Amino acid sequence: MTNIILLGPPGAGKGTQARRLVEERGMVQLSTGDMLREAKDSGTEMGNKVAEVMAKGQLVTDEIVIGLIEEKLAADGGAGFIFDGFPRTLGQADALGRLLARMGQKLDAVIEMQVDDEALVSRITGRYTCGDCGEVYHDETKPTKESGKCDVCGSSNLKRRADDNADSLRTRLMEYYKKTSPLIGYYYHAGELFQIDGLAEMNAVGDAISRVLDQQN
Ligand code: AP5
């Protein structure tokens, strides 16, 4: 089993590459963003609070996201877990270490996807996803082959996220630099950090991640 974290700012390509690893290697993607969007759609009191925080681009409390991850870790991890968008604070990183240790597992690599802010703005504002299968697209770099129809499942339920706008993105980036970027030093000191060029073309980014994973086996 190989457990990895994909670390990077909003729009770095974490979700895109996680989906690829699920397909190519049989790993299990754990995206706290996706889990929170599901909770948000549940219409519960907790879901409504989460929706408000996410729309502003702020971070949801550690307590909620750690609880969500803990639940998912109980399931079969296939060839390994891909933590996508988690951890995002030092508290979450400590909690993840404890949860993995309790399961007799460890973290094999933390892959930091480096992308500059300018590229992130165009990636985020051009993104849309399939509401049925979750495939991620982009107006310019990865449009659907047939307009309005998902290439993977054929659905016409293509959606844009409520937080994919310039205002929320500014807050999301600030949250990333203030609360999440300290994790780069945290995992560097633990000897688990690998840095890759997230600005490269999608397949080249995938190849760089594969090289890191192959070194772990
Ligand atoms: P989350 O859903 O995790 O969003 P995020 O971290 O902001 O990351 P994104 O999903 O926006 O981007 P990505 O890196 O996955 O990029 P993608 O592959 O889609 O979190 C949303 C919110 O939930 C947070 O703001 C917070 O409120 C809350 N939350 C989540 N986790 C939390 C936690 N742990 N603690 C507290 N709160 C939490 O790619 C983006 C676009 O670029 C796509 O259109 C794609 O096609 C394109 N693209 C990808 N790669 C390339 C490439 N190499 N070249 C060109 N285009 C590319």
For the stretch 57-88, pLDDT in tens is: 999 999 999 999 999 998 888 899 999 999 99
How many Å apart are CA 216 and CA 157, to the nearest integer?
38
Q: Where are the beta strands (DSSP E) in 50-204?
A: 81-84, 109-114, 127-130, 136-138, 158-159, 193-197
At residue 34 the predicted structure's pLDDT band, cuts being 50, 70 and 90, is: very high
Give the model confidence (pLDDT) of 134-185 as tens digits. 999 999 999 999 999 999 999 999 999 989 998 899 999 999 999 999 999 9
Q: Ligand 1 within 6 A of 9 CB? A: no
Please report where in the chains the tokens 């630099």 appear, as a residue.
177
| pLDDT recorded at residue 181 | 98
The whole-angstrom separation of Cα 175 and Cα 178 is 5
Q: What angle do CA 29, 163, 51 make, to 5 degrees?
A: 80
- What local confidence, expressed as pLDDT, does residue 173 receive? 96
Check if the beta carbon of residue 112 is closer than 8 Å to that of residue 193.
Answer: yes
Catalytic residue among 56, 88, 102, 179: 88
Q: Which atom of ligand 1 sits closest to the CA of residue 137?
A: 46
Cβ–Cβ < 8 Å for 107, 5: yes
88 is catalytic: yes
Q: Is the C-beta atom of 20 inside 6 A of ligand 1?
A: no
Residues of the chain with pLDDT > 70: what percent?
100
Angle between the 45-56 and 32-41 helix axes, to the nearest 10 degrees? Answer: 130
Strand partners, 109: 4
| Catalytic residue list contains 170 | no
- Residue 153 has what pLDDT? 97
The answer to whether 137 is annotated as binding is yes
Residue 42 reports pLDDT greater than 90: no
Q: Would you say residue 217 has pLDDT above 80?
A: no
Q: pLDDT tens digits, residue range 154-166?
A: 999 999 998 999 8
Instruction: Using alpha carbons, select from 106, 109, 97 the residue that is nearest to residue 77.
Output: 106
The per-residue pLDDT for 78 is 85
d(CA 6, CA 179): 16
Conformational region of residue 207, where left means phi above 0, alpha means psi within -120 to 50, and beta covers everything else? alpha
* Alpha carbon 174 to chain centroid, angstroms: 17
| Interstrand relation of 4-7 and 109-114 (parallel, antiparallel or unpaired) | parallel
Catalytic one of 25, 149, 161, 179 = 161
pTM, to two decimals: 0.95
pLDDT for 186 equals 98
178 is annotated as an active-site residue: no
Neighbour-count burial of 211, counting CB atoms closer than 10 A to its CB (0-12 exposed, 13-18 middle, 19+ buried): exposed
Q: 184 is written with which tokens?
A: 């780069």
